[in-house]
Amino acid sequence: MSDLGSLSSHLWDTSDLYRNAVMQLQEAAVTMRLDPNIAERLKVPKRALIVSVPIRLDDGSIRVFEGYRVQHNMTLGPGKGGIRFHPEVNLSEVAGLAMLMTFKCSLVGLPLGGAKGGIRVNPSLLSRQEAQALTRRYTTEINMIIGPDKDIPAPDVGTDGQHMAWMMDTFSQERGFAIPGVVTGKPIEIGGSLGRNESTGRGVVYTIQHAAKHLAKIGKPGPKIDGSTTVAVHGFGKVGAVAAQEISQLGAKVVAVSDYDSAIYNKNGLNIADVIKYATNNKVIRGYPEAEAISNEDLLALNVDVLIPAAIDGVITEKNVKNVKAKIIAEGANGPITTEAIKVLEERGAFIIPDVLCNAGGVVVSYFEWVQGIQNFFWSETEVNEKLAEVMANAFNKVIDIQQKHKCGMKTAALIAGVDRLNRAMLLRGLFP
């Protein structure tokens, strides 16, 4: 049969993120004895679109950017996943992120599939008008595969609610009427959900609380999330800043945070509200007066109870994992720990809260926003947070049950939880033709 050929893997596997996602899928497949035909289908995306995005810059010149939208698997429902603006975005990375979204949506029980998008661009170099032109033109180039019943984008690295407002408006203009359900993460004024901006970081903290209780229950050493608990946050952005604020409000001491530029440390704990204010005014945390400067690598090596890598993928690798000392590592970012590093940490006894569980709060509340938009019936922030807490608790308990059943790591257990639901759905739907 080998002479028949197959989908060429090199099209996707140029990024570490994609390769790690496939390796983790393979490990889960072996552990759960997954149907090999299902495993084969899950290794590659269903559909990928590469588009040219030409815009006129403020100086009058034309610049063409490269954009992507990848739909990994839509067995459970419409695609769901963010739009990333970053100078290093590529097809393989987007495909890997879309795969993780598939498993994430399945794990937390949503009727959604996995997708992801991006444009290779440095958003910090764009004016507001250039950013708007880029977002709108990108929307027109992918409009045939997105929609409230097809594929629903959301913000990601380098994008925010304003970008989603431009996407929603562009898509609606082309259809002739308002379609708020085409994206989530929108401003409240045009159909966004209360609690959406904080949902990913808040979900991270919910899972840390569950992890601490679980460790105490099984008699393993771990923090109680109180005044004696020390926390370091790698990546002080939309996820990390909220997680830092939420966990500090529970009484924990956040002793270090970092952004793309630098890191800061105070052994007595940082005033997170003050750091957020400083970062908002100065665009970076460098120079914050109530802390000492350290490097991002120094932050990862701090002897803290909880480490939250909430920036980008691949920050903890086999090269630096020997320096990581945290008891609980909560993957606020997608794929921040490589497969090799995960094995080292688990052998050492660190408790890893895997990304598909840890940072699922964002897609959960995106689903809530989508539902509210379809019904034109909106919930209070208290209702949103209560429903989010319930979903995250159920998902965490599901992963723990699988981890104990299979005697495997948390990362593998989380993927098994997501893949098992997908497996049953894909077998029921069959293969067409």
Segment 110-143, tens digit of pLDDT:
999 999 999 999 999 999 999 999 999 999 999 9
When pLDDT is averaged across residues 16-29 and rounded to a whole number, the result is: 91
pLDDT category of residue 225 using cuts at 50, 70 and 90: confident
CA angle 47, 51, 52 (to 5 degrees): 170
CA angle 48, 49, 50 (to 5 degrees): 125
Whole-number pLDDT of residue 3: 53
Whole-number pLDDT of residue 148: 96
* CATH 3.40.50.720 placement within the chain: 198-358
| CB 80 within 8 Å of CB 112 | yes
Q: Which of 64, 22, 106, 77 is nearest to 374 (CA)?
A: 77
* CATH 3.40.50.10860 placement within the chain: 45-179
In CATH, which superfamily holds the domain spanning 198-358?
NAD(P)-binding Rossmann-like Domain (3.40.50.720)
Fold of 45-179: Rossmann fold (3.40.50)
Candidate list 116, 238, 398, 411, residue with the active-site label: 116
| pTM check: above 0.85 | yes
Whole-number pLDDT of residue 210: 96
Q: What are phi and psi of 34, to 5 degrees?
A: -70, 145
Going 418 to 424 to 427 to 430, the CA torsion angle's sign is negative
pLDDT category of residue 6 using cuts at 50, 70 and 90: low
Per-residue model confidence as pLDDT tens digits over 156-197? 989 999 999 999 999 999 999 999 999 999 999 999 999 999
When pLDDT is averaged across residues 315-334 and rounded to a whole number, the result is: 95
Per-residue model confidence as pLDDT tens digits over 231-289? 999 999 989 999 999 999 999 999 999 998 899 999 999 999 999 999 999 989 999 99
Per-residue model confidence as pLDDT tens digits over 354-384? 999 999 999 999 999 999 998 889 999 999 9
Output the average pLDDT for the chain.
94
Is 224 catalytic? The answer is no
pLDDT category of residue 1 using cuts at 50, 70 and 90: very low
Q: Does 5 have pLDDT greater than 60? A: no
